Amino acid sequence: MKTAPEPQPGIMNIDPYVGGRSQIAGQSDVLKLSSNENPYGNSDATKAAFARAGHDLHRYPPTDHRALREAIAAVHGLDADRIICGVGSDEVLQFVAQCFAGKGDEVIYSEHGFSMYRLLALAVSATPVMVAERDRVVDVDAILAAVTKKTKIVFIANPGNPTGTFLPMAEVARLANSLPANVVLVHDGAYTEYLENGDGGAELVAQFPNVIMTRTFSKIYGLGGLRIGWGYAAPRIIDVLNRVRQPFNLSLVQLQTALAAVQDQAFVERCRADNAEQRKWLIDALAGLSVDADPSEANFILARFEDQAEAEACDLWLQEAGILVRRVGGYNLPNCLRITVGDRAGCRRVVHAIAAFKDARK
């Protein structure tokens, strides 16, 4: 009797990623605050570009992504030849794991770091190594203590997801400077655009040949449904990653819409300013309800409840009110809920619902 093919080691240890819910049975007016999406959607410029791209769907897209890379470079003051584009920044992270880690190697990620880091390590048969954070902030010393001769990649999200906390760039530079030269440091800056001032790690790339920063169009640009991201690194790293990238990994629609998005920085600035205003209001309002949250530099907050039971009860209460947030027990934060910063009306709706929940438990 023939036996079934065996997958590579580690793959069957992967639990498929589950995204934030978007529907509640029996609810029509659902406020989705579970996936860190831009409440204002995407800009008018991107909508127009998306529509125009529909006229050329019979054409293959360019394989080098030159126009988009040059536009990104112009906006951020970067070298276009050091940019690689992917199907969301997730694909760029996948390229890094595929190219620089394998069986017998170790991949480090922080305790509350993005769950994909562990999955990417397992997918290439490497061993994921989780390192504790300090008060929900990446701990550089703990990471350095975990480095061994087997370490090949260190992943950090900054600002963190789901914490929203930010590790000062001086500390990231200390980490980069202290890592062995053969270890790739990935600075995942998916939420960089929400910082008042931040380069996402570009200066680190200029200083250290083993650093790659990744960015995305899914968050502030409001293009999560199209899946577009990019990475920036030394030429050698980009050359390696491009060798495993599929030549037509991004469609014509993705490329043209992202091009319009990055060129519309006025939209980005408006979204950044409004997010900062609503985020502060949300944190302060919840603090008044005895629900604390760390200072966040992203478009979400991590609301901390008394214990897991209260967090889960609040989540169920919010669902009854037609509001979806994200439980983060899988990130070792069972007493927390991650809440996307919505528009003004959305923030007030969620606070009103949590206030009602608190009153009901008195």
User: In the chain, what are the domain boundaries?
Assistant: 11-41+266-360, 57-263
CATH topology of domain 57-263: Aspartate Aminotransferase; domain 2 (3.40.640)
Which pLDDT belongs to residue 283?
98
The residues pairing with 137 across neighbouring beta strands, listed in sequence order, are: 134
Q: In angstroms, what CA-CA distances link 106 with 141, 175, 220, 318? A: 17, 17, 32, 40
Q: Are 222 and 41 in contact (CB under 8 A)?
A: yes
Class (C level, CATH) for 11-41+266-360: alpha beta
Which pLDDT belongs to residue 3?
79
The residues pairing with 151 across neighbouring beta strands, listed in sequence order, are: 106
Rounded to whole angstroms, the Cα distance separating 257 from 53 reads 8
| CB-count exposure of residue 209 (10 Å: 0-12, 13-18, 19+) | middle
**Residue whose token pair is 């990231």:** 172
Q: State the amino acid at position 97 in one-letter form.
A: A
Which pLDDT belongs to residue 5?
84
Which pLDDT belongs to residue 25?
74
β-pairing verdict for 127-131 and 106-110: parallel
Which pLDDT belongs to residue 10?
82
Dihedral sign computed on CA atoms, order 172, 175, 177, 183: negative
Which pLDDT belongs to residue 18?
73
Which pLDDT belongs to residue 2?
72
Strands (DSSP E) contained in 197-311 are: 211-216, 229-233, 292-293, 300-304
Angle at which helices 44-53 and 252-262 cross, to 10°: 160
Using 50 as the pLDDT threshold, list the residues of the chain that sit under it. Answer: none
Rounded to 5 degrees, φ, ψ at 56 are -125, 30
Which candidate, 81, 61, 57, places its Cα nearest to that of 70?
A: 81
Dihedral sign computed on CA atoms, order 135, 219, 252, 81: negative
Which pLDDT belongs to residue 12?
83
- Residue 114 CB neighbours (<10 A): 22
Rounded to whole angstroms, the Cα distance separating 61 from 83 reads 18
